[in-house]
Amino acid sequence: MLQEIEGKSADTGMRNNLFVCPVCGEPLQGNNLVDAKSIVEDNLYYVGGVLIVSDVWLHCNFEHRYTEDDMTMENPHKLVAVVKAAFDKKGKCITFEIVEVHPADKTQ
């Protein structure tokens, strides 16, 4: 999946476009997953003061809260998406790929 980030196309591919929740076994997709905008633009760029200019691994906390039908789940649960991201020499995100999803640590 390609997503436009600050005027550049960023590779935001998800392997086979489907992850299965490691807690409940339901599919994770669309509004259940983190994306480049929510992580890079809304969090990293918003804080400012730091430029990332290399490949990085991000561990992004999020909640599995919606069913496949976009209904709110009775028992949402916390997960972590492991993301491989790359930034150019100007600090712009050019690659954002979710490579793994696992349950969040109970202490978080």
Strand partners, 72: 66
- In this prediction the pTM is 0.74
Radius of gyration of the chain (CA): 14
Give φ, ψ of 13 to 5 degrees. Answer: -60, 140
pLDDT tens-place string over residues 1-46 = 333 444 444 444 444 457 899 999 988 888 888 888 888 888 887 6
**47: enclosing H helix or E strand:** helix 46-47
The fraction of the chain above a pLDDT of 90, given in percent, is: 42
Q: What is the average pLDDT score of the chain? A: 80
